[in-house]
Structure 1
Amino acid sequence: MGVIECREVSKKYLRKKALNQLSFTIEENKITGLIGRNGAGKTTLLKLLSGFIKPTSGKIKIFSEKPFDNLTVSVNSILIDDQMAFPTALNLGDILVAASKFYPNWDSKLAEGLLNYFSFKTYQYHNRLSKGQKSTFNMIVGLSSHCPLTMFDEPTTGMDEAVRKDFYRALLKDYIAYPRTILISSHHLEEIEHILEDVLLIKNGECILHQSITDLKEMMIAIQGKKEEVSSLLLNHDVISEQMIGTDYMQKVIKRHEISEDSILSARRSGLEINAVSPSQACLYLTQERKGGIDDVFN
């Protein structure tokens, strides 16, 4: 079943188009990474999916219903980000009690366990926490809600490395125990790829890739060696990215299906280095504005 369905969704802010004709479907009980550079439209999309704002055009369905101003969608979904605001009169304990009354699948045992693990006190107040502590507490709310659709927008902002690792491990363990649809927005794919099943890549408000993390790992290869040899080998190929290494060596990136196994074996025998491209690097290459990246500025 498609938990999230978007068809030709666009969103404009005055003259700026934040999202442009976005179409995709996300099935239930999958962890999907929403990946893109700053300003790509990730946060706008999550706000649309949460029903906080309306699209300028196109159709969005969450659990087969329009999300905007929809109570059913509200109690079955949650968006965690660094802009979350809780009533200042409530302490952390009060917030968890209020959340338990709103979300039907709330896990009080998990919330209490995480609160103790991360050394929070129920009498503390959210607005007096540090940036990293706020992100950690927000994460506790997101995980404990057990919402069928759980969304995190850059959830580890301000967290130190140890807490980030704990968060992703807690998310994965809880997902295994209570499968649900989880959408995680980030521009650091290398940090979350080990927990992802699918990747949705956005560039300039458009969806340019939606596939499994397994397929993305095998999507590209990088060929490195003397400039003349690399250029000759890839003369008639569609090069995604190219970079000079010193004055005589260069690296070019192509899609794996663009070149045969025989050509790869021959290239290796001639001394060229051929390596797989990580999912994180693949997304960087697909979203860069110029084939040569920052090097083009100096050429």
Structure 2
Amino acid sequence: MIMCENLEKRYGKKTVLTKVSFQIDEPKIIGLIGRNGVGKSTLLKILAGHVKVSSGKAEVVGKKPFQNLTVAANAIFIEDAITFPSVLTLKEILESAKSFYVNFATELAFELLRFAEISERNYHYQLSKGQKAVFNLVYGLASRCAITLLDEPMNGMDETIRDDMYRVILKDYIAYPRVMIISSHYLHEMEHLVEEILLLHKGTVELFAPVDEVQQLAVKLVGQKVHIEPYLANYNVLAKRENGPIYEVIVGANELPLPDNVRMQSLSASDMCKVLTGIKEGSIDDIYRKSESGAQYL
């Protein structure tokens, strides 16, 4: 359904994506994860056919996606910047949607708007940021496109409505399975929802694996530095952090026995992704300790 092979995207001299390769062959919900600026939105725009690749290959439903009518009919891309005709009310937008998406679930869309307490008489540009996010997500899900691409769909929503919208995503996926790729900084909220994680780092694919496999990649050792450090040569050390008397080291999962007086903690998929894309050693606390040690006060 989706295939990328050595995909690259450049804007002038700036390379945003480089040698991106992955394949999705069946309906599933995938979390597209990565730090700001790694190319998540660019990748989604390429898959939606809005942006042309610079080199390499991208195929969606067997077609090159850029300005392709087949892809346009089978894929929808929802982002913050999506706009609708300013002369149409939300009611008119939803009623006309079936002209573009033959599977559009019009009645479901109206029901979800009523649930979110958004009046169908409103105009899209009149909505608050959170209301726009809800409407955009409802529109994207109700389209029932075979390829549904959601770029930070929860931005602006409060915590309560986010919880409801995660349930909507899952229920609609169960009712109408398709490929859903959700770009989000809220992975800790979505771990129960996504089946696989596609992690971008420095413009390329750092990891593409099922959530449960990601959770088993590493563990955290917690204790005093004197108890942990002598054993680190035996481990694949991924990150270290010293917080007062507590020393935390994240290491690749293995069957080695634990040092004395050391606890082992499992990691969430969100934590694991932070480890793979974050600073390997030190923390904000270290910066402030250094700053305070050199501070002079009058």
Distance 1:209 1:21 in 2: 13
Describe the superposition over 1:148-199 as per-residue Cα deviations: whole angstroms up to 9, x where unpaired. 1101100011111111011000110111111111000012210111101000
Q: Which AA in structure 2 matches 1:274?
A: M
Describe the superposition over 1:84-115 as per-residue Cα deviations: whole angstroms up to 9, x where unpaired. 01111111111112211110111122112112
What is the aligned partner in structure 1 of residue 12 from structure 2?
14
What is the aligned partner in structure 1 of residue 255 from structure 2?
260
Which moved further from structure 2: 208-217 or 111-120? 111-120
What is the aligned partner in structure 2 of residue 204 from structure 1?
202
Please tell me whether the aligned partners of residues 290 and 296 of structure 1 are also in contact (alpha carbons under 8 angstroms): no
Distance 2:26 2:123 in 1: 35
Please tell me whether the aligned partners of residues 36 and 201 of structure 1 are also in contact (alpha carbons under 8 angstroms): yes
1:26 is displaced (CA, Å) by 1.7
Describe the superposition over 1:247-294 as per-residue Cα deviations: whole angstroms up to 9, x where unpaired. x431110111xx325x13xx3xx2101110111111101001443344
Please tell me whether the aligned partners of residues 23 and 207 of structure 1 are also in contact (alpha carbons under 8 angstroms): yes
Please tell me whether the aligned partners of residues 243 and 295 of structure 1 are also in contact (alpha carbons under 8 angstroms): no
Over the matched positions of the two proteins, sequence identity in percent amounts to 41
> What is the aligned counterpart of 1:287 among 262, 277, 281?
277
Distance 1:201 1:151 in 2: 16
Distance 1:243 1:127 in 2: 46
Distance 2:111 2:217 in 1: 40
1:11 is displaced (CA, Å) by 0.7
Please tell me whether the aligned partners of residues 220 and 276 of structure 1 are also in contact (alpha carbons under 8 angstroms): yes
What is the aligned partner in structure 2 of residue 224 from structure 1?
222
1:124 is displaced (CA, Å) by 0.8
5+ long unaligned stretches in structure 2: 291-298
Residue 251 (str. 1) matches residue 241 (str. 2): no
Which moved further from structure 2: 55-64 or 229-238? 229-238
Describe the superposition over 1:115-156 as per-residue Cα deviations: whole angstroms up to 9, x where unpaired. 211122222100011111000000110110000110110001
1:53-68 equivalences in 2 (<5 Å): 53-68=51-66
Q: Which AA in structure 1 matches 2:230?
A: S
1:295 is displaced (CA, Å) by 5.3
Q: Which AA in structure 2 matches 1:273?
A: R
1:161-172 equivalences in 2 (<5 Å): 161-172=159-170
Distance 1:188 1:135 in 2: 15
Which moved further from structure 2: 222-231 or 41-50? 222-231
What is the aligned partner in structure 2 of residue 44 from structure 1?
42
Partner SS state of residue 43, structure 2: helix
Partner SS state of residue 191, structure 2: helix
Please tell me whether the aligned partners of residues 199 and 205 of structure 2 are also in contact (alpha carbons under 8 angstroms): yes
Distance 1:43 1:293 in 2: 28
**Residues 117/103 of structure 1: CA separation in 2 closer, same or farther (3 Å cut):** same
Distance 1:12 1:68 in 2: 15
TM-score, normalised on structure 2? 0.93
TM-score, normalised on structure 1? 0.93
Distance 1:80 1:18 in 2: 20
5+ long unaligned stretches in structure 1: none
Q: Which AA in structure 2 matches 1:50?
A: A
Partner SS state of residue 195, structure 1: coil
What is the aligned partner in structure 2 of residue 236 from structure 1?
234
Please tell me whether the aligned partners of residues 168 and 192 of structure 1 are also in contact (alpha carbons under 8 angstroms): yes
What is the aligned partner in structure 1 of residue 261 from structure 2?
271
- CA RMSD of the aligned region, Å? 1.4
Distance 1:197 1:272 in 2: 32
1:43 is displaced (CA, Å) by 0.5
